[in-house]
Chain A
Amino acid sequence: MPMKTLRKVLLAVVIIYLFLLLSPVAGFDVARIAVIFRDTPELVLRYLWIGIANGGIFAIVALGYTMVYGIIQLINFAHGDVFMISTFASLTVIAALGATNKSDPGAILLAVIVALVIAVLFGGALNAVIERVAYRRLRNAPRLAPLISAIGVSLILQNLGQIWAGQGYIDFLKPYFGTSGGAAQKAYPDLLGSHDVIQMLTGQESSLKIYGKEIFVVIAAILLMVGLRLFVQRTRLGKAMRATAENRDAAKIMGIDIDRIISITFFIGGGLAGAAAVLNGLYVGTAWWLMGFQAGLRSFTAAVLGGIGNVTGAMLGGFLIGILTSLSDGLLNPAWTRAWVFGVLVLVLIFRPNGLLGSAVGQKA
């Protein structure tokens, strides 16, 4: 059908034209991007690598969304804020251990491991408590009820984070809670330092930097994801989780303790958020009471992009969103990154509502 093809081509041309016409308003300046690609291609590689490191963190947070959604079809709105609160928890632990980037490597390693363990336990416990208090009694209520409850929990956590971030300090607790007004971002100790691996290997400085901490973040993220996948696929508990996600009533009849499985799912999701919080803190170096909202939105987009309910999809989506945000921050205009992420979310939901790897679970009524 040449007529149909022609119409499609015309439509595509019109859309591309309109995109080129209007997108510069949102920072998409083709000429500038072309110059960056021509003159400093290693900078583009650097942005890509930053995106991968960031994406690893998004992916871990996205896993929490996707697992909870898979098992009770709830967008756990508070998940991003569990991530944020865990960041402050780990910050407090590190401060309590007295570790700074000038400490000796053994102390740093100890601090990182202790912070990781405590943040994981803290995030997991917090998420499980949230489920018990705010969601469990609403399991059979109309759909909007738990969602609104989740928004409420998210607001509570944000406010607590704001207080934790330093509005309510008392002198002897100052080092653990912060020193300035809560609205500002707080510094997270740069324990891993900035060691450029490329420079160490080649001996000369270039725009393409690969920091050791980035490699650490990426490896940790991949290990966590592989571990989670093995857990869900290979263990008895993982099997019970999959059964519950598949059909809660049938799983119950088969003798699975639904409440316990859901609690465990929330615990694992929160624990992953806690781990992501430490990685994010060590990598990005700031903690902020509003960071949960943005991270949550991006990670949720990642989970949807990969196909919500799908563990592998969440990882893929996380890396893709990480790369997208980093390229947008670097090549376009950071102020509009949110808009680009949102645009991708809308496009994905229009053309592939089940995500890149998703089954039909996302749209199950």
Chain B
Amino acid sequence: MNKSIKRGLLLGLASGFLAMLFGGWAMTVLAVFGGILIGFTSRSGSGKPAAFSPQAVALTAFIFSLLTAIGGIIFDRGLADIAVVTGHPSEVTFPAAIVGIVLGTLTALGMAYVQHMPNARTARRINYAVGAVILIFLPIIDHATDLGWAASIIFAGVYIVVAIGLDVVVGYAGLLNLGYAAFFGFGAYATALLSSNQIGVHINFWLLLWIAAAIAGIGGVLLGAPTLGLRGDYIAIITLGFGEIVPVAFQQLIKITIQEPLTCVIIPAIQAIGGGTPTVQCITLVDKLDLTGGVRGINPIDRPVFPIISPEDTPVALIIKVAVMLALVGLIFFFFRRQQRNGKVGPGTMIFSGLAVGLILILFIPIPHTAEGLLAPFWNTFQPGQFASDNILPWWFFLLGIIGLVIFLKLRLKNSRLGRAMTAIREDELAANQMGVDLVHTKLTAFAFGAAIAGLAGAFYSAYVSAVFPDGFGFGTSVIIVAAIVLGGVGSIPGNIVGALIIFLADLLFLKQFQNVLNGLSTHVLMPSIPDQAVRGFIIANFDPVKYRFLLLGLILVLVMAFRPEGLLPTREQRLQFHAEEPVDEEAPTGAA
């Protein structure tokens, strides 16, 4: 009982602090998510079935949501006014607090009950269903409760994809890549170039997505090739240098002039040395081509278009759309038949196939506008034309699709021969080579695979933002992504997701709002009470958490390495590696052998 109080207090203080910065319905959302998490983790970590104690879970969740609600009330009814930040009226605050406390406790109880069901498979299915419901309805909840978090979560989602990709290289193959944002940049710039007015090419986004991934993948191989014979930390430096150059290239490739050297350099040089004047006409292949737009970047970029069949389609477009639709439906059918042949058609397969076919039909068959109804915004999203910039829904589901695809690919990779070869290289390159693992092939595939995933993310990013600039793809971004996967746990997909979410949401949501509130507090409370101009200047200059973001990032890296080197959600192997009974000595970099 004591432990659950402590746990509730600890989590509640953190969440209460967050609620104290946002207030309003944010505290309800925090309380419910916290409740789900508390319920979900109520099973002991070792996997042994512990006795279900509803009182303990309820107590933890109650304390947690109570503290969260108190934080929210403090913000709305006091802090917001003092700091002159937008708060919420009491018609919102108190219902939100009460709903938060009740729902938080109830969801925790419910989730805990599910975790302790005797049938583990059913429990797992319910967990997945809860996760799916949250993912599908989050943007709608976000809109309904006026949180305004969804846009930030989409950015964090892009970096989740990038983190998952980087983790293929770092976590599976053990090659620290410090220039990974460059591949993200390749994907983004490839998309930007091939679907904007920059060079006047407009390729359909659904095709371009794969082209961008392929270009980034080729970039990965090109970078990987020179590092093949090198050991870990040299690879880190090579990739770092590479990652430094790519933004420079994006910035500088604005006046590309390529002249044929034979006619422009070599023959004139010989003639000049001979004392004559040049007689050959210089052939210019490319003259002052502006490829990347320099610091201005490329803007605007085409947005993806729904492939919905419409009466205005040309016959060719119509045929392509119908063909793609039939191919996709056929793919699902093929998958279903295979499961059937293996005798594995359960409710899961049925539901999955049905949902997939439904989604494909929604994407291709026109639906009439609905003026009202709860799901009206949902249906009205799927209309012919481009993804809207002000409607978060299509982007949200598209991104969910990409994340799902990437997770699927990575799981398949992990259990494949290739994935095992990567793990072998990570553990001991020499031994792996002796056992017949093809080092060149495996390492290059790891680089290409990781880079291609970053390319996908880049394509999404540039279509979503509809602009690219050279400075988002340098060392700063690379190192944040490294921090995300290190924090979450290298080699673990849940770790990648949680790490990226924590780091990027902290950066995009928390620090920003924290800055707002602190700024308001210092201007309206602290400032008037301080007479000294100098001290005031000092406080204005330093009371800004955003200025300390790299300090915080660095602290996270150092502290995680010092106290939990396996990360927050490590895989089993990683945990054992760092916490074995006997320190494993063979990894010691003494060079004694």
Chain A residues near B (Cβ < 8 Å): 17, 20-22, 24-25, 30-31, 34, 72-75, 133-134, 137-149, 151-160, 162-163, 167-172, 247-250, 293, 297, 300-301, 304, 333, 335-336, 338-339, 341-342, 345-346, 349-350, 353, 363-365
Taken together as a complex, chains A and B put the C-alpha atoms of A364 and B232 apart, in Å, by: 11
Whether the pair A168, B561 counts as a contact (CB closer than 8 A) is no
A138 nearest in chain B by CB position = B561
Whether the pair A21, B226 counts as a contact (CB closer than 8 A) is no
Interface residues of B in 209-236 (CB under 8 A from A): 226-227, 229-234, 236
Q: Which of B188-196, B337-345, B365-373, B530-538 lies at the interface with chain A?
A: B530-538
Taken together as a complex, chains A and B put the C-alpha atoms of A169 and B539 apart, in Å, by: 9
Taken together as a complex, chains A and B put the C-alpha atoms of A160 and B490 apart, in Å, by: 28
Interface residues of B in 546-580 (CB under 8 A from A): 547-551, 553-558, 561-562, 565, 577-578
Whether the pair A144, B245 counts as a contact (CB closer than 8 A) is no
Asked if A156 meets B533 with Cβ closer than 8 Å, knowing A25-B256, A140-B585, A143-B233, the reply is: no
Whether the pair B248, A335 counts as a contact (CB closer than 8 A) is yes
Contacts of B548 in A (CB 8 A): 159
Asked if A171 meets B542 with Cβ closer than 8 Å, knowing A75-B236, A154-B554, A339-B248, the reply is: no
Tell me if B129 is interfacial: C-beta within 8 Å of chain A: no
How far, in Å, is A191 (CB) from chain B's closest CB? 28
Contacts of A134 in B (CB 8 A): 558, 561-562
Whether the pair B553, A155 counts as a contact (CB closer than 8 A) is yes
Taken together as a complex, chains A and B put the C-alpha atoms of A71 and B227 apart, in Å, by: 23
Contacts of B534 in A (CB 8 A): 170-172
Whether the pair B245, A145 counts as a contact (CB closer than 8 A) is no
Whether the pair A155, B554 counts as a contact (CB closer than 8 A) is yes
Considering the complex of A and B, which 7 residue pairs feature the smallest CB-CB distances, nearest first? A152-B557, A155-B554, A171-B534, A20-B261, A156-B554, A159-B551, A170-B538
The number of residue pairs between A and B whose CB atoms lie closer than 8 Å in the complex comes to 194
Tell me if B591 is interfacial: C-beta within 8 Å of chain A: yes
How far, in Å, is B27 (CB) from chain A's closest CB? 32
Tell me if B583 is interfacial: C-beta within 8 Å of chain A: yes
Whether the pair B587, A151 counts as a contact (CB closer than 8 A) is no
Taken together as a complex, chains A and B put the C-alpha atoms of A143 and B428 apart, in Å, by: 12
A244 nearest in chain B by CB position = B590
Asked if A363 meets B475 with Cβ closer than 8 Å, knowing A147-B176, A148-B561, A249-B590, the reply is: no
Interface of B is mostly: helix
Whether the pair A350, B226 counts as a contact (CB closer than 8 A) is yes
How far, in Å, is B320 (CB) from chain A's closest CB? 37
Asked if A168 meets B558 with Cβ closer than 8 Å, knowing A25-B256, A75-B237, A336-B252, the reply is: no
Taking a contact as CB atoms closer than 8 A, the residue among B490, B565, B589 that contacts A73 in the complex is B589
Tell me if B238 is interfacial: C-beta within 8 Å of chain A: yes
How far, in Å, is A76 (CB) from chain B's closest CB? 10
Taken together as a complex, chains A and B put the C-alpha atoms of A24 and B257 apart, in Å, by: 8
B227 nearest in chain A by CB position = A349
Taking a contact as CB atoms closer than 8 A, the residue among A73, A140, A146, A168 that contacts B541 in the complex is A168
Whether the pair A152, B259 counts as a contact (CB closer than 8 A) is no
Tell me if B174 is interfacial: C-beta within 8 Å of chain A: yes
How far, in Å, is A325 (CB) from chain B's closest CB? 14
Taken together as a complex, chains A and B put the C-alpha atoms of A170 and B532 apart, in Å, by: 11
Whether the pair A138, B591 counts as a contact (CB closer than 8 A) is no
Taking a contact as CB atoms closer than 8 A, the residue among B242, B550, B585 that contacts A156 in the complex is B550
Chain B residues near A (Cβ < 8 Å): 170, 174, 176, 178, 226-227, 229-234, 236-238, 240-242, 244-245, 248-249, 251-253, 256-262, 264-266, 268-269, 430, 475, 479, 482-483, 486, 490, 533-535, 537-538, 541-542, 547-551, 553-558, 561-562, 565, 577-578, 583, 585, 587-593
Taking a contact as CB atoms closer than 8 A, the residue among B232, B261, B541, B583 that contacts A144 in the complex is B232
Whether the pair A22, B258 counts as a contact (CB closer than 8 A) is yes
Whether the pair A25, B253 counts as a contact (CB closer than 8 A) is yes
Whether the pair B557, A297 counts as a contact (CB closer than 8 A) is no
Contacts of B266 in A (CB 8 A): 20
Contacts of B577 in A (CB 8 A): 142
Whether the pair B551, A151 counts as a contact (CB closer than 8 A) is no
How far, in Å, is B156 (CB) from chain A's closest CB? 20
How far, in Å, is A251 (CB) from chain B's closest CB? 10
Q: List 5 A-B contacts (CB under 8 A).
A: A31-B268, A151-B178, A153-B554, A170-B534, A250-B592
Taking a contact as CB atoms closer than 8 A, the residue among A74, A170, A247, A304 that contacts B590 in the complex is A247
How far, in Å, is A184 (CB) from chain B's closest CB? 14
Contacts of B486 in A (CB 8 A): 148
Contacts of B259 in A (CB 8 A): 21, 24
How far, in Å, is A338 (CB) from chain B's closest CB? 6
Whether the pair B592, A249 counts as a contact (CB closer than 8 A) is yes
A346 nearest in chain B by CB position = B226
How far, in Å, is B552 (CB) from chain A's closest CB? 8
Contacts of B229 in A (CB 8 A): 350, 353
Taken together as a complex, chains A and B put the C-alpha atoms of A159 and B258 apart, in Å, by: 41
Whether the pair B565, A141 counts as a contact (CB closer than 8 A) is yes
Whether the pair B591, A349 counts as a contact (CB closer than 8 A) is no
